[in-house]
Structure 1
Amino acid sequence: MRRLGRTLVAAVLTVTVITGTAGWASADTQRAVTGPLPGTAAWRAEPGPAAGAGVRPVRGLPDPESAGPREVARFFAALDPDEARALVRRHPLVAGNLDGVPVALRYLANRIAILASGEARYLSLAGAGRQILAFDPRGRGQVAEVFGDLTHAEHVAVVVPGSDNDASTYDRKRAPYSGPGGMARALRASTGDTTAVVAWTGYTTPVGVGLDAAQGHLAESGAARLTRFLSGLDAVGAADPALFCHSYGSVVCGLAARYADARDIVVLGSPGMRADNVAGLRTRARVWAAKGPSDWIDDVPNVEFAGLGHGADPTSAGFGARRVPAADAEGHTGYFVPGTQSLAAFAAIATGAAR
């Protein structure tokens, strides 16, 4: 009975904090982007009028909703290179987001899609040298960007961000190490450029620290998308990645852990992973956790009650994760700042040097 009472008190405190009475931002409810990829209807219509006059249609295209990444990879491997590029140019929004499509073709497709969008807020993503692995303009927009040679790198890392990240805000210039783009750049630089790093803003994130951030519905949708994305990396021959999951992104990674073919899962500034301990994640990956002394996430009660909260603190002794030193990480977003203990440890994990 006493334990139930503590749980009820913690749940009330969680609601109080998240709804803003502690000075945090309450936010509008977000709806996860689901359903067929943009352009799916035209893709499915081939061969036919959608192919265009004088264009050789490609038969037997893999269905974007039902075909797995390995099936997609086999299909593209059988195409003539010119035929594959022509297909991508006709259907950039599908090809650029379809897991299993060769990496170079996805870069081409997404550059075409970004330029065709006519959206000024996205145009910088089409700049010279940028490697955009996914671009979905629906909702607030989603994007994945690669730093390094994803196909040939010995090591791969994927940064999974938390709240307030989307296609137009993920690469923050004023706070360069607080968004997934800056985190990915810092991690790649700290490995001596030996690791390919993906900044994956591939799900609908919460806005602010409101009820969406306290609930799991966006994380559940994000976990499904992350799982498929990682299967796509495997299908094109990329190395098994280390996942670096920040804040609400750690909830996503916790839900995806049992399905993800990851070498390591690192959570930082985590409100919980929807598991009581590492065993509850049901993963073969090594699990690591970091939390700095000034991170406000420490004020969030680690409970899961009536759909609110995300469970145990991954940095607690009872959870069983390997601890990452983070004594000099400032605030909630200071973990990837150059020169910090946490970034040095992340680099060792990414390159497989950490034990």
Structure 2
Amino acid sequence: METSQCSDPLVGAVLDGRYRVDTPIATGGMSTVYRGLDIRLDRPVAVKVMDPRYAGDQQFMVRFQREARAVARLKHPGLVSVYDQGLDGRHAFLVMELVEGGTLRELLEERGPMPPHAVAAVLAPVLGGLAVAHRAGLVHRDVKPENVLISDDGDVKIADFGLVRAVAEAKITSTSVMLGTAAYLSPEQVGTGDADPRSDVYAVGILAYELLTGATPFTGDNALAVAYQRMDNDVPPPSAAIAGVPCQFDDLVACATARDPDARFADAQDMAAELDDVVTELGLPAFRVPAPRNSAQHAAATVHHVRRPTRAFTRGPSSPDEVEYRRPAGLFAGIEIDELELARQRGKRVTTFWLIAILTLTGLIAAGAWTLGSNLPALGL
């Protein structure tokens, strides 16, 4: 984040006589997100302030208000709640739930690829939130790690519904601007600009690939080159990039990222059901996703002397079937060695056989893994 508190003229301002703008958290091409305070309710909030150029565009404001109202009606633990929207002078803004923690992008940068059970723990609430939106007739259009937030309590939530569509319909949008992040756009979004629930499914498939391998499947010299690669190329199986990925996840990614929308999961609910089957088939243990340590959100809290969460990364799970995610000393078949201990007994119902089954499964997956650890440096460990 480039913007500093001293140089940002909005810091300290009170929007609409109610929302105090405190510290910048993240800045993008369309907006800046701030840590703020609802003075009326004495409640910390996140305030997304759109670039001033949008405030003068009537078409954008109409769409912005409509999308904000629609998203505010959605209720699901996997969705960031929208509280309010407004216009204060040249500043169109959205007031949202403040998720104390960080983004999935920040977590990936800190820890790299995730083992399968951690990937499932991220995807399940994301798909759950998207499923609620899809049933309401809404499409996200910009699913990516930056829009997935992780709280210090392990909650995973998706944010920023409706903003891409609102900007796309604004008169100031240039035809040279490709909305949505190029790495996650579906072929139909690249080709025609159309999007439906299957477009979100495609983006979740790319997200799953990235969580498993640490990188997105397509690369290029610029955003357009990256975007257009998916028009003629299938997403390769994650197991081709990192050994040890179960074939069930290869199949999940393949179905989600099919170039033909009709060959994909119909919507997020359909993909979530398949993910549930994969988790059951592999016997993946429950997992609490950690917030990144060095997040912009934590930095913003520190600047304003807000009490930081006391939960430490090394603290034990809060219940027998939750597991903390830690950097290990090494990998085995692409799975962190310490994570092999994750299959702890779930209360009295789980027996020693469970641990044996998990270790046996991992050993089978390891058949094609690195020899004598020769590939460990490739993971950056």
| TM-score bracket for this pair, using the shorter chain length | 0.3 to 0.5
* TM-score, normalised via structure 1 length: 0.32
* TM-score, normalised via structure 2 length: 0.30
